[in-house]
Amino acid sequence: MRVAVLATDGVEQVELERPWQALEEAGAEPELVSLETGQITAYDHIDKAGTKQVDLDVSSADPDDYAALVLPGGVVNGDFIRADADAVAFVKAFFEAGKPVAAICHAPWVLAEADVVRGRRMTSWPSLQTDLRNAGAKWVDEEVVVDGNLVTSRKPDDLDAFTAAMVEQFAAGPEEDDEG
């Protein structure tokens, strides 16, 4: 199973590394998709923490090549990704195909921008709650929330619950269309 991990400079390092490791341990093949080729710089809150090589830039990436999508957090990461039209379209395509998506911390900003949160129960970093409610989501303050094919969590402290729910949802595969 190939899984796209969409991130850019400013990604929260632990929110990139822990899901990546959980995917590999579950037998999946994560690939880093970003706004540009080269390397991205990860952060530990506001301090530079390391780099990671990009596998593919988002403008060249095809959502059909992936079974699922992970959106790690980080304030700068979430803000940069939601401002990129190719990245937003890439994310939206996963929802249109019913594929599982996992987003943590500030990553749900991208989901709001893609207009895929309306009517969904979800969580995020607390400062995003108004943005998500304004986009039509039912925001809750819980460690991990699973709503259909969407898994969301609040922060690095939630990573154990987040990665467990993510692996379970990804193993279940795409949501079936009840009308089809």
Q: Among all residues, which ones are annotated catalytic? A: 106
* Distance of alpha carbon 80 from alpha carbon 82, whole angstroms: 6
Q: Which pair of structure tokens corresponds to residue 128?
A: 């995003």
Task: Report the phi/psi class of residue 136: left, alpha or beta, with left for phi > 0 and alpha for psi in -120 to 50.
Answer: left
Whether the Cβ atoms of residue 8 and residue 15 lie closer than 8 Å to each other: no
Whether the Cβ atoms of residue 157 and residue 141 lie closer than 8 Å to each other: no
Question: Residue 31: phi, psi to the nearest 5?
Answer: -130, 135
Q: Which pair of structure tokens corresponds to residue 24?
A: 């590999």
Q: Which pair of structure tokens corresponds to residue 99?
A: 């594929």
How far is the CA of 86 from the CAs of 33, 80, 179, in angstroms? Answer: 11, 12, 29
